[in-house]
Amino acid sequence: MRAPVLSRWFGEAEIAAPPDIESAALRSDRFRLEREGDWTRLEDILKRMERGSLRGISDDDLLALPVLYRTAASSLSVARETSLDAATLAYLEALVQRAWFQVYGPRKGLIGWLRSFLFGGWSRAVREIWLDICIAFAVMVTGTIVGWLLVAQDQKWYFRLVPSQFADTRVPGASREQLQQALAGQDETSGLFFFSASLFSNNAGVAIMAFALGFAFGIPSLMLLVHNMAVLGAMMWLFAGQDLTLEFAAWLSVHGTTELFAILLAGAAGLHIGRSMAFPGTRPVLTAASEAGRRSALVMTGVVLMMVVAAMLEAFPRQLVGGTFDRLLIGGTLLSLWLAYFFAYRPRRRGDEG
Amino acid sequence: MSSTPPLTTGMMEKRRRVMITPEGVAVPITVASRGSRIGAIILDFLILYFGMLFVFLLLIWAAGGLIEDVMAGADEQVQGAAEFLLVVLILAIFMVRYGYFLAMELGPRGATWGKRITGIRVAARDGGRLTAEAIIARNLIRDIELFMPLVFLMVAPTGEAGAAGVAGAAWFLLFMAFPFFNKDAMRAGDVIAGTWVVEAPRIKLAELITTRDNAQGGSMLTGTRYEFGEAELGIYGEHELQTLERVLRGGSTEAIIAVHETICRKIGWEPGAGDERAFLEAFYAQLRARLEGEMRFGRRKKDKFS
């Protein structure tokens, strides 16, 4: 037995190794032992960050984090080329990945994000999809007209279009008094709270669906818009037949200006995704889809908020406020508020917003 | 990084990616397997279901008293309170369904409890920051991916919706099967949000084998010093070295005896008994020294066949 290889190793060790690392025979092990302290320190910081408490981390550690992260990353590249210790390599890979997630993790908390969303982010996202909003608006108007024309031509269409839950007394052939009754307010609040909550859950579901269906190049989103608006057109025809157009518009406008606006935005958001996937331009399809998706997600978060407002309006003011003028006033004010918020409110973009 | 550790199996190898961070550091990453993602979503829904069931029972327990009050002839206010509880319930179900996923994936771990248990997390596909918008987008899409197919699957066989129901079921099944049609196992929500789901291993730093006494001095049992020559060490490559490492780190005694016997036969030694571990640790240390020495000159030996 001879040991030429080993003697060469030992020879080098005598020159270079610091005292506490003397025990290691291999150069790659000495490399590891020299840096182990930094690695475990990084791991310790990461463990505390992942637990979600930044308070438990000292300023020194926080400042050291980026440096330690880069040290670990360079250790990994060196170890890949010099070490065959699979366990150390696996550890380093996992460590660098974990550190990377923390260094490049979400910088803002949920509260901070909400603030930037409400003060600028939301309205900017809405303005960015203006073209899709225009298209969706045109589609909605078309849907209403189609609904009107269909029912005007053949009354059977009314029963096909309008879901039975709405068609209690509001059917073709109903008297003016019956229709007026349906539009009148109620005196008591009992049950309205529950009503508004279930309305919200239902409407938000429809809006989210309109958005999610945008994935199929936006066509199902548009179909959903047409269908919903055709119902509206059919009901408008019914009330117009008894000269109640203004009353109906007032009754609808209380919550409708908010709700229809929200549905418009949801459809536009879905269309935005579909359009950028169908026509990605010079970008790869996946990049185009994810850019559009993130922008639309902002709009959609706002849509859910608008749905909450709409449900509250639908349950309380619409049922309690009886006057046509009062109703129009509420609806008109809200519409102008939304328009002002989306298109006139343009705060300066802050540096840290992504 | 052109080199990947040969320790991984073929299936694992397929799922390995390199993500380039904004400052140009290459971070190795493994795309989560579809199985672990299905496991995670099932766990998440079990957690949600039992969490809501618990809250619901709590509410019934609290409202049960109210109902008794009504029976006792109390006033309208009590009814108002019961109604309020119902409203809380409806809003809570909505909030919980979306809020759970949003809040958990926005947190520092980037994963729901189900994902944490299966050891995976959400990450931005481009290597950049994982933004709130991306998390929202990927969770909103879940509705048509998971719930719509289930609804249509339940409706379609009844024939209630006719041919449209069957077409709808087929269409939405496409979304459900989406992760199986791309190599990164992305679901439609991931495509829209620009995210993917990757493995998030948490590995402890294992102790060194080469600094053990067996590997350096001589056997702790017998005091024998195992020295191997060029001919014996030249047989094996990196793959065998790392297999040996796995055996030494966590293998059973039987495995150690078997490996010892195989190596002895291969290098032409007479296999002894009782001192296998010391033999293997010494062999490991010297084989690694040799292979790493060659590595520095740019010569790598992948396995015993090369």
Chain B residues in contact with A104 by the CB 8 A cut-off are 21-22, 127-130
The CA angle B120-B121-B126, to the nearest 5 degrees, is: 125
Select the residue of A87, A94, A273 nearest B202 (Cβ to Cβ). Answer: A94
Instruction: Tell which B residues from 102 to 121 touch A, by Cβ distance under 8 Å.
Output: 103, 106-110, 121
First to last CA, chain A: 66
- Judgement on whether residues B18 and B98 belong to the same structural domain of the protein: yes
Is the CB of residue B289 less than 8 Å away from at least one CB of chain A? yes
- Judgement on whether residues B69 and B191 belong to the same structural domain of the protein: yes
Nearest in space to B145 (alpha carbons), one of A311, A24, A213, A25: A213
- Judgement on whether residues B24 and B101 belong to the same structural domain of the protein: yes
Nearest CA in chain A to B302: A84
Chain A residues in contact with B29 by the CB 8 A cut-off are 97
Residues 6+ apart with CB under 8 A from B291: A84, B237, B238, B241, B300, B301
Structural domain including B77 reads 12-141+187-202
Cβ atoms of A314 and A199 within 8 Å: the answer is yes
- Judgement on whether residues B240 and B102 belong to the same structural domain of the protein: no
- Judgement on whether residues B78 and B196 belong to the same structural domain of the protein: yes
Residue bearing the bigger pLDDT, A94 or B145: A94
- Judgement on whether residues B88 and B169 belong to the same structural domain of the protein: no
Task: Output the six-digit token pair for A53.
Answer: 């408490």
Mutation target vs B (from A70, A77, A85, A209; most B CBs, 10 A cutoff): A85
Cβ atoms of A89 and A79 within 8 Å: the answer is yes
How many Å apart are CA A318 and CA B286, to the nearest integer? 85
Specify the residue for token string 């102790």: B207
- Judgement on whether residues B67 and B194 belong to the same structural domain of the protein: yes
Task: Output the six-digit token pair for A31.
Answer: 């490399």
How many Å apart are CA B227 and CA A4, to the nearest integer? 10
* B237 lies in some domain: yes
DSSP code of residue B195: E
Task: Output the six-digit token pair for A33.
Answer: 């032992």
Q: How many CB atoms lie within 10 A of CB A172?
A: 16
* B216 lies in some domain: yes
CB under 8 A, 24+ apart: contacts of A218-224: A218/A270, A218/A271, A218/A272, A218/A273, A218/A274, A218/A275, A218/A278, A219/A274, A220/A270, A221/A136, A221/A266, A221/A267, A221/A270, A221/A271, A221/A274, A222/A136, A222/A139, A222/A267, A222/A271, A224/A267
- Taking CB atoms and an 8 Å limit, are B137 and A294 in contact across chains? yes
* B300 lies in some domain: no
User: At A231, phi and psi to the nearest 5?
Assistant: -60, -45
* B131 lies in some domain: yes
B298 three-state secondary structure: coil
- Judgement on whether residues B198 and B55 belong to the same structural domain of the protein: yes
Q: Is A173 left (phi over 0), alpha (psi -120 to 50) or beta?
A: left
Cβ atoms of B127 and B22 within 8 Å: the answer is yes
How many Å apart are CA B67 and CA B73, to the nearest integer? 10
- Judgement on whether residues B218 and B197 belong to the same structural domain of the protein: no
- Domain end (from B169, B202, B235): B202
Reported as a single tens digit per residue, the pLDDT across B28-85 is 788 998 889 989 999 999 998 898 888 878 877 877 666 666 555 545 555 566 666 6
* B94 lies in some domain: yes
Tell me the pLDDT of chain A (354 aa) as tens digits.
444 444 444 444 343 344 455 666 778 888 888 888 888 899 988 888 888 766 777 888 888 888 898 888 888 888 888 888 888 888 988 898 888 888 877 666 667 778 888 888 889 889 988 999 999 899 989 999 998 888 888 877 777 777 665 555 666 767 777 777 666 655 444 555 555 666 666 677 777 777 777 777 777 778 878 887 888 888 888 888 878 888 888 878 887 888 889 888 988 988 898 888 888 888 888 888 888 888 888 888 888 888 878 877 776 666 666 677 888 888 889 899 999 998 888 887 654 444
Could you give the count of Cα atoms lying within 13 Å of B189 in the half-sphere of its Cβ? Answer: 20
- How far does A239 lie from chain B, in Å, by closest CA? 31
Chain A residues in contact with B233 by the CB 8 A cut-off are 5
Strand ranges in A94-150 using DSSP code E only, listed in sequence order: none
DSSP code of residue B224: P
- How far does B54 lie from chain A, in Å, by closest CA? 21
How many Å apart are CA B208 and CA B213, to the nearest integer? 11
Task: State how many domains chain B has.
Answer: 3
* B298 lies in some domain: no
The CA angle A133-A139-A141, to the nearest 5 degrees, is: 105
How many Å apart are CA A244 and CA B11, to the nearest integer? 69
Is the CB of residue B214 less than 8 Å away from at least one CB of chain A? no
- Judgement on whether residues B61 and B195 belong to the same structural domain of the protein: yes
- Judgement on whether residues B152 and B263 belong to the same structural domain of the protein: no
* B81 lies in some domain: yes
Select the residue of B22, B103, B241 nearest A84 (Cβ to Cβ). Answer: B241
Mutation target vs B (from A97, A192, A265; most B CBs, 10 A cutoff): A97
Cα radius of gyration (chain A): 32
The CA angle A259-A264-A268, to the nearest 5 degrees, is: 150
* B102 lies in some domain: yes
Reported as a single tens digit per residue, the pLDDT across B79-137 is 566 666 666 677 777 778 778 888 888 888 888 899 999 999 998 888 777 888 888 88
- Judgement on whether residues B62 and B196 belong to the same structural domain of the protein: yes
Is the CB of residue B240 less than 8 Å away from at least one CB of chain A? no
- Taking CB atoms and an 8 Å limit, are A108 and B132 in contact across chains? yes
